[in-house]
Amino acid sequence: MDHLLSIVLWLPLAGAIVLAFLPRSAETAIKSGGLILAVVTFIASLMILPQFRVGVAAFQLVEHCQWIPSWGISYFIGVDGISLWLVLLTTLLGPVVLLSSWNSIHKYVKEYVLAMLLLESAMVGSFMAMDLLLFYVFFELMLIPMYLIIGVWGGPNRIYAAIKFFIFTVSGSLLMLLAILYLVYLYYVQTGVLTFTISDLYNVHLAMNVEVWLFFAFALAFAIKVPLFPLHTWLPDAHVEAPTGGSIALAAVMLKVGTYGFLRFVLPLFPHASMHWSWLFAALSLIGIIYGALVAWVQPDMKKLVAYSSVSHLGFCILGIFAMNAAGVQGSLMQMINHGLSTGALFLLVGVIYDRRHTRLLSDFGGLSRSVPIYSTLLVIAVLSSVGLPGLNGFIGEFLVLVGAFRWNPLYGVIAAIGVILAAIYLLWLVQKVIFGPITHEENRTMKDIAWNELLAVIPLIIMMVWIGVRPEPFLQRMEPSVQQLLSTVTDRAGAPPPVSDSRGGVR
């Protein structure tokens, strides 16, 4: 099992290539094949856990080989406490996504399964990559299947949403690519070593103005991905139009790549700029928290509501990261996982009733608690997790982030805490409009309760919600050393004053 990570990484893709040779008419075989692959991948990823040494900050299960040696690019993957759980989250959601769309995808089933598997590989890869360019490759690779998923299997306005999604994300990432190259080039000039390995690049010395430019190039890419206010407008559209599985993958995992990027790249690579501009990101994330919550509140469309809630929740993640203290960063990581679970579940559940009624307008529902009690219970649990009820997962992350932010600047903590109030407002509004109140539409009276595949998809999420809510320590424990190390990297580097001028000072 020396190549466990590679197996987890490539299994979905390899499987997809095999499945591609099945005839298109063999839908069930393809679906089951995809599901089995996803489950096997998940099991494989679980085997990382026993091999993962607790209390070690460094990357583990590392695999390293040259890829493009002349440019210092290598196939360098590993997990540490920061990426471990994100990888597991991704692999967990693989089967969930496929299960959730078992019966809701009617056309081009084969292509759908292939796209999802490709997406899974790309997402896992971006969390495992320890080489900046490898990361970038996976980062971009994600876009293609997601573009297709939104554009082919999406709603009526899917083209607009898909293109918007793609253009937004690509705009950021291309600028980041330039910054990556420049960074590597500067490192090369300084040390004579051409490398894209992240941990090496942590040692680069940058003049302040250069650092700020590069910082913003990176930050822009990730801020779009997260998305951070005011770059969030692609998200509601993408979510509303995407099929359920796409929404889950998008919200639960893909957005995390943005927050992960901030943590893994932006902070340690550009500590001075990060610190210098942290106020900006605090402000944007705070605005996002409040803004997302308020806008979510007045949405008539359930998916949009959940989408805007993502804007709000991910604001917490960014806030925690820029707090640059252990509580904030660990909280942010927890919040990423939690958001993945709870928002994933919410999108899944919204998808369930969408499949039955082909509408997502809040006004078309109401009183579902009577006709679909199991569904309603699950929805309430997912909502409560998202609201941040102590005892469920959402609270842990939110609380840690808030304390972290508060320690950074009390004002930030206080404003962010308002978001907690607002979360209750809009999410309970959702619950009330959907499952409470009188039944206003006759179709809702005879609605079928949640189906086996949907139940099977959502149960793991619920279990994880409770588990993390009750016993988060194993998760935090494994994160802690890595987070501490990352933070000390940041503070050590920021502690040293930036070189006043550099041979290649400004960006021409």
Residue 425, classified by CB atoms within 10 Å of its CB into exposed (0-12), middle (13-18) or buried (19+), is middle
> Which residue is listed with tokens 């949403």?
161
Considering only residues 473, 488, 496, 501, which one is a binding residue for other proteins as defined by CB under 8 A? 473
How many helices (DSSP H) and strands (DSSP E) are in the chain? 25, 2
Taking CB under 8 A as the criterion, which residues in 189-218 touch other proteins? none
253-282: contacts with other proteins (CB under 8 A): none
Using CB under 8 A, pick the residue from 10, 277, 297, 467 that binds other proteins. 297
Contact call for residue 472 and other proteins (CB under 8 A): yes
| Backbone φ and ψ of 231, nearest 5° | -105, 20
Which residues, 6+ apart, have CB-to-CB distance to 282 below 8 Å? 319, 322, 405, 408, 409, 412
Contact segment (CB under 8 A) with other proteins among 98-106, 268-276, 291-299, 449-457 equals 291-299
Shortest separation between residue 38's beta carbon and other proteins, angstroms: 22
Sequence-ordered list of residues with C-beta below 8 angstroms from that of 88, at least 6 positions apart, any chain:
45, 46, 48, 49
- Binding segment for other proteins among 98-106, 171-179, 270-278, 492-500 (CB under 8 A)? 171-179
Residues that bind other proteins (rule: CB under 8 A) add up to a total of: 94
d(CA 322, CA 316): 10
Binding span for other proteins by CB under 8 A among 40-48, 197-205, 274-282, 421-429: 421-429
Smallest distance from the beta carbon of 298 to other proteins, in angstroms? 4
Residue 170 binds other proteins, judged by CB under 8 A:
yes
If phi > 0 it is left, if psi is from -120 to 50 it is alpha, else beta; for residue 27 that is alpha
25 near other proteins (CB under 8 A): no
Q: Which of residues 356-415 bind other proteins (CB under 8 A)?
A: 367, 369-370, 373, 377, 384, 389-391, 395-396, 399-400, 402-404, 406-407, 410, 413-414
Q: What is the CB neighbour count within 10 angstroms for residue 27?
A: 17
Ranges within 52-81 binding other proteins (CB under 8 A)? 67-71
One residue of 299, 338, 385, 386 binding other proteins per CB under 8 A: 299
- What is the phi/psi pair of residue 55, to 5°? 85, 5
> Does 439 sit near other proteins (CB under 8 A)?
yes
Q: Distance (Å, rounded) from C-alpha 336 to C-alpha 317? A: 7
14 is an interface residue for other proteins by CB under 8 A:
no
* Run of H or E including 381: helix 373-387
Does the protein bind other proteins through residue 10 (CB under 8 A)? no
- How far apart are alpha carbons 339 and 313 in whole angstroms? 7
Look-up of token digits 């509303």: 240
1 binds other proteins (CB under 8 A): no
Considering the complex, what minimum distance in angstroms separates the CB of residue 151 from other proteins? 4
For other proteins, give the closer residue by CB, 463 or 507: 507
Contact status, residue 285 vs residue 296, Cβ threshold 8 Å: no
Binding mask 128-167 for other proteins (x = CB under 8 A): -----x--xx--xx-xx--xx--xx-----xx--xx--xx
User: How many other C-beta atoms are found inside a 10 Å radius of the C-beta of residue 106?
Assistant: 9
Give me the 79-118 binding string for other proteins, x by CB under 8 A, dash otherwise.
-----------------------------x--x-------
